[in-house]
A and B are shown apart, each in its own frame.
Chain A
Amino acid sequence: MTEMTYREALKQGLREEMQRDERVFIMGEDVGKNWGGAFKVTKGLAEEFGDERVRDTPISENTIAGAAVGAAITGLRPVAEIMFGDLITLAMDQVCNQAAKMRYMFGGQTSVPLVLRTVFGGGKNIASHHSQSLEAWFMHTPGLKIALPAFASDVKGLIKTAIRNPNPVLFFEHKLVYDKKEEVPDEEYLIPFGEAKVRREGADVTIWGTMFMLHKALDAAEELAKEGISVEVIDPRTLVPLDKKTLLDSVKKTGRLVVVTEETKTGATTAEIAAMVQEEAFDWLDAPIIRVNAPDTPVPFSPPLEQFFIPDKKRIMDAVRSIV
């Protein structure tokens, strides 16, 4: 085990897959030598693998995603990067109409083994076009796999699984997680899709959350423990496929559930999780399922506004307290 940042672990995963399989290549805006990715995830890889395999592109999101589709169906393993998750709107056709549907509408004649990496989330005061959390849109689009690792030890194993997956995988990172450190195994390891991880065990309330909110949920759980409330924290790690069992088992144990993400509330992944749990574990619930989300507004710029917008530890703790 070596302690390293999320960014470093992710890069190691990319590097290992590029060494293992020459079909794997990276493309995106400013991913190459001059910049190394807007969040420096690919820094150094162009020097190591060359400009052909770490390919800078023009600012053409729809064609970046579409070229990944075309390369994937003809024998390569593209890892495309969209610089900010908000800009995936410019590639929606290729992601949601082409990549997601090709195998189905062509009756299984082809598959689309691509990875599309992008970054979500606020907390950096970069306002409405660079801070959103849009994962629900894609969870709502059949045909896409979605991984959203929040920890260094998960990101490496998940990017490797994503690259080897024969389907289009959306790989969502969070801006505030890149510098977080954890012990990461030195040897090769893969994390299967659809396996949640219990990040903290507890008996009274289950918190299900994703991305940066998991870090806040863990902080909240730590403080609630001092009040005598025992919280279990579950990280699904992938939204598609979704590990329902780990969550339902936990809810059956605790009887209480808080779901927390940084998305705006209406139609968020948290709504889907709440609906699923009441369908499948209604009899075990001792309290309403509480959603903790951002309000239904664009992400504001000014620090006090943004702080108000993004769910914080206190809101998570209040939600837990309200049902115990």
Chain B
Amino acid sequence: MVDKKTLVDLYTRTLKVRLFESKVWDIFGQNLIPGTLHLYLGQEAVAAGVTAALKKTDWIQSTHRGHGHVVAKGADMKRAMAELLGKSTGSCKGKGGSMHITQFDVGVLGATGVVASGLPIAVGAALSCKMRGTKDVVACFFGDGASNNGTFGESLNMSSIWKLPVIWVVENNFYAMGTPIKWTCPSESIAQRAEGYCIPSKVVDGNNALEVYEAIVEAVERARKGDGPSLVECRTYRMKGHSRFDPAKYRPKEETEYWLSRDPVEIIKKIAIEQGALTEKEAEKIEKKLQKEVDAAAEFAIKSEYPKPEEALEDVFAEEAA
């Protein structure tokens, strides 16, 4: 049984990501965000459940769909939002944008535009935790689509032979752009593949933050004890298209309706209330507070300056010691 504080934490993280992403969706509609976006709407419970099970010094490795990961891990929302708008106050000074949204100081190794490229980096970070004896762990997010890339096999294998403190978090939203996972994966689950690498795995409801959390807690424990990696497949669904302009017409209506009826925010709220951790009133209070923070973040981002053009030349190399 998880305690009440944790339930409130799960609700808060899930909602925070929801409100952040809803705001992002809004201001994208006002043409304030250059380029494209991969929204995290619908998958909030995964980021919430995973990050609630981690310490601040633990690491996460993010993906192209990374806003939710970073915000749930505790990123400064002002700097995150400003980054999406390409402002100099952004966490990456406007050099990364949506696909590289990162805040290293809260334990985000990076967000990457190359699908499945985060897995090797997570291996190295986990190796580093182990060799430096920190007891920190690494949670590596990736999609169902990413699990078909070669790094999946390489990295799961390496993490297993070296018993690394890493948790492989598959966000199975059933599609890689327009390609359904059933076209590209012959097995019932992606989790099954872990068996070949002797990695314990589990399939959980990725729209239920509590279920995600409980599976990750178990995996984190294993990792911290030095017993090696685990894989948790979180089944979830995008509320929107793959990227901003994708209407996602390729998804059957009944399927979409089913998943949209299972709102991650509502699910964790209901659990928290049923278990006496939260009242409607308290939930509302939390929401109001978060909404204020998100609004302030958006205002900060919109008001911030763009970088000076010549700043494009900075940050290629780190300064060498004299």
Residues of A within 8 A of B (CB): 23, 25, 52, 57-58, 60, 62-76, 78, 93-94, 97-98, 102-111, 113, 142-143, 145, 164-167, 193
Asked whether A103 lies within 8 Å of B120 as measured between CB atoms, the reply is: no
Q: How large is the interface on B (under 10, 10 to 19, 20 to 34, 35 or more residues)?
A: 35 or more
Asked whether B119 lies within 8 Å of A110 as measured between CB atoms, the reply is: no
Cα–Cα distance between A52 and B130 once the two chains are bound (Å): 10
Beyond A66-B120, A75-B132: 5 further Cβ-contacts under 8 Å? A63-B158, A66-B123, A66-B124, A74-B59, A143-B316
Q: Is B131 located at the chain interface by the 8 A CB criterion? A: yes
Cα–Cα distance between A106 and B100 once the two chains are bound (Å): 7
Asked whether A74 lies within 8 Å of B124 as measured between CB atoms, the reply is: yes
Residues of B within 8 A of A (CB): 59, 61, 90-96, 100, 102-105, 109-110, 112-114, 117, 119-129, 131-132, 138, 150-151, 154-155, 157-158, 161, 314-321
Contacts of A102 in B (CB 8 A): 110
Query: Given A66-B119, A94-B120, A106-B104, are A71 and B128 also a contact pair (CB < 8 Å)?
Result: yes
- Neighbour of A97 across the interface among B117, B122, B123, B154, CB < 8 A: B117
- Neighbour of A62 across the interface among B61, B120, B138, CB < 8 A: B120
Q: Provide a sorted-by-A list of 27 A–B residue pairs whose CB atoms are within 8 angstroms.
A: A23-B132, A58-B158, A62-B120, A65-B120, A66-B120, A67-B127, A70-B109, A70-B125, A70-B127, A70-B128, A73-B125, A74-B59, A74-B128, A74-B132, A98-B117, A98-B121, A103-B318, A104-B95, A105-B95, A107-B93, A107-B96, A107-B315, A108-B315, A109-B105, A111-B318, A113-B318, A164-B321
Cα–Cα distance between A102 and B121 once the two chains are bound (Å): 11
Report B321 CB to chain A, min CB distance, Å: 7
Contacts of A23 in B (CB 8 A): 132
Report A266 CB to chain B, min CB distance, Å: 26
In the complex, what residue of chain A is closest to B152 when comparing beta carbons?
A63
Report B264 CB to chain A, min CB distance, Å: 28
In the complex, what residue of chain B is closest to A113 when comparing beta carbons?
B318
Cα–Cα distance between A67 and B127 once the two chains are bound (Å): 8
> In this complex, which of A58, A62, A64 has the most chain B Cβ atoms within 10 angstroms of its Cβ?
A62
Cα–Cα distance between A8 and B122 once the two chains are bound (Å): 34
Asked whether A93 lies within 8 Å of B114 as measured between CB atoms, the reply is: yes
Cα–Cα distance between A57 and B316 once the two chains are bound (Å): 30
Asked whether B125 lies within 8 Å of A71 as measured between CB atoms, the reply is: yes
Asked whether A103 lies within 8 Å of B117 as measured between CB atoms, the reply is: no
Report A193 CB to chain B, min CB distance, Å: 8
Cα–Cα distance between A105 and B111 once the two chains are bound (Å): 10
A-B interface, 4 closest residue pairs, ranked by CB to CB distance from nearest: A66-B120, A70-B124, A107-B93, A67-B124
Asked whether B154 lies within 8 Å of A106 as measured between CB atoms, the reply is: no
Contacts of A164 in B (CB 8 A): 321
Cα–Cα distance between A78 and B113 once the two chains are bound (Å): 24
Cα–Cα distance between A38 and B319 once the two chains are bound (Å): 34
- Neighbour of B154 across the interface among A63, A76, A107, A167, CB < 8 A: A63
Cα–Cα distance between A112 and B102 once the two chains are bound (Å): 15
Cα–Cα distance between A28 and B318 once the two chains are bound (Å): 25
Asked whether B117 lies within 8 Å of A93 as measured between CB atoms, the reply is: yes
Asked whether B128 lies within 8 Å of A142 as measured between CB atoms, the reply is: no
- Neighbour of B120 across the interface among A67, A78, A193, CB < 8 A: A67
Asked whether A62 lies within 8 Å of B318 as measured between CB atoms, the reply is: no
Cα–Cα distance between A142 and B314 once the two chains are bound (Å): 12
In the complex, what residue of chain B is closest to A91 when comparing beta carbons?
B120
Contacts of B92 in A (CB 8 A): 105-107, 109
Query: Given A63-B151, A66-B117, A67-B120, are A73 and B109 also a contact pair (CB < 8 Å)?
Result: yes
Report A180 CB to chain B, min CB distance, Å: 29
Contacts of B102 in A (CB 8 A): 106, 109
Report B313 CB to chain A, min CB distance, Å: 10
Contacts of B150 in A (CB 8 A): 62
In the complex, what residue of chain A is closest to B59 when comparing beta carbons?
A74
Asked whether B95 lies within 8 Å of A70 as measured between CB atoms, the reply is: no
Report B84 CB to chain A, min CB distance, Å: 13
- Neighbour of A107 across the interface among B91, B123, B131, B138, CB < 8 A: B91
- Neighbour of A70 across the interface among B90, B120, B317, B319, CB < 8 A: B120
- Neighbour of A60 across the interface among B93, B138, B154, B314, CB < 8 A: B154
Report A195 CB to chain B, min CB distance, Å: 13
In the complex, what residue of chain B is closest to A94 when comparing beta carbons?
B120
Query: Given A67-B123, A78-B124, A143-B317, are A106 and B161 also a contact pair (CB < 8 Å)?
Result: no
